[in-house]
Amino acid sequence: MKDVFAKAESKMKKSIDHLMEEFDSIRAGRANPAVLDHIMVNYYDTPTPINQLAAVSVAEARVLVIQPWDMSVLRGIEKAIQTSDLGVNPQNDGKVIRLVFPPLNEERRRDLSKEVSKLGEEAKVAIRSIRRDAIEKLKEMKKSGDITEDDLKQAEKKTQDLTDKYVKNVDECAQRKEKEIMAI
């Protein structure tokens, strides 16, 4: 029975970690190298993340500098950024690419806030799905005679408490990210 809880909690933690990675990739007015994580560059016919092809650093609050290790990929990085949904036009000086993030307008902040809410809801759905799977496993254990009816009830309550804890964590993370977006 402890194994079921351990697996469920581990999966719920992974859901939170994934949510935080998604939040990091949302551009909130500040330069953050994580916004480039999902952009792939065609490098010798292989889709490769930018952070594997170049050093990405924050030069100023709203400026990212991308310095490729292989200068032949500079144009490819520039093209990948232009075709992405990042909404920033790269400035290529022949050695590095600079991304200057404009300040967010009110409409874009609202859109980003909605995106944060949507990602939060998806994480909560994932956590509830983990709860459902754990409870199904517990019911199977009762059916096979490994646990009693009372053990099942206690385990269901414990699973629900764990779910509530992680759902609350998702809400707190989403609220923090929304405040960050709206404050800038």
pLDDT tens for residues 25-52? 776 666 778 888 888 888 888 888 888 8
CATH superfamily, domain at 2-24+105-183: Ribosome-recycling factor (1.10.132.20)
pLDDT exceeds cutoff 70 at 122: yes
Over residues 76-84, mean pLDDT: 88
pLDDT exceeds cutoff 70 at 184: no
Report the distance separating Cα 132 and Cα 129, nearest Å: 5
Q: Which part of the chain has CATH 3.30.1360.40?
A: 33-100
Over residues 126-148, mean pLDDT: 91
Over residues 48-67, mean pLDDT: 88
Vertex 119: Cα angle to 134 and 6 (nearest 5): 25
Alpha carbon separation from 182 to 23, 93, 156 (Å, rounded): 14, 33, 39
Looking at per-residue pLDDT, the higher value among 100 and 125 belongs to 125
In this prediction, residue 156 has a pLDDT band, given cuts at 50, 70 and 90, of very high
pLDDT exceeds cutoff 80 at 4: yes
In this prediction, residue 61 has a pLDDT band, given cuts at 50, 70 and 90, of confident
pLDDT exceeds cutoff 80 at 130: yes
Q: Which part of the chain has CATH 1.10.132.20?
A: 2-24+105-183
68-91 in b/e form (b: 16+ CB < 10 A) is beeeebbebbbebbeebebebebe
- In sign, the C-alpha dihedral spanning 66, 70, 74, 76 is negative
pLDDT exceeds cutoff 90 at 11: yes
CATH value of 33-100 in 3.30.1360.40, 1.10.10.60, 3.40.50.300, 3.40.50.2300: 3.30.1360.40
Per-residue confidence (pLDDT) for residue 43, from 0 to 100: 87
Lowest-confidence segment of 24-38, 58-72, 109-123 by average pLDDT: 24-38
For 165, left (φ over 0), alpha (ψ -120 to 50), or beta? alpha
Q: What proportion of the chain, given as a percentage, has pLDDT over 90?
A: 36
Alpha carbon separation from 114 to 91, 119, 171, 182 (Å, rounded): 30, 9, 13, 11
Lowest-confidence segment of 63-72, 155-164, 174-183 by average pLDDT: 174-183
Per-residue confidence (pLDDT) for residue 123, from 0 to 100: 94
- Continuous H helices in 25-86: 74-83
| Identity of the amino acid at 90 | P
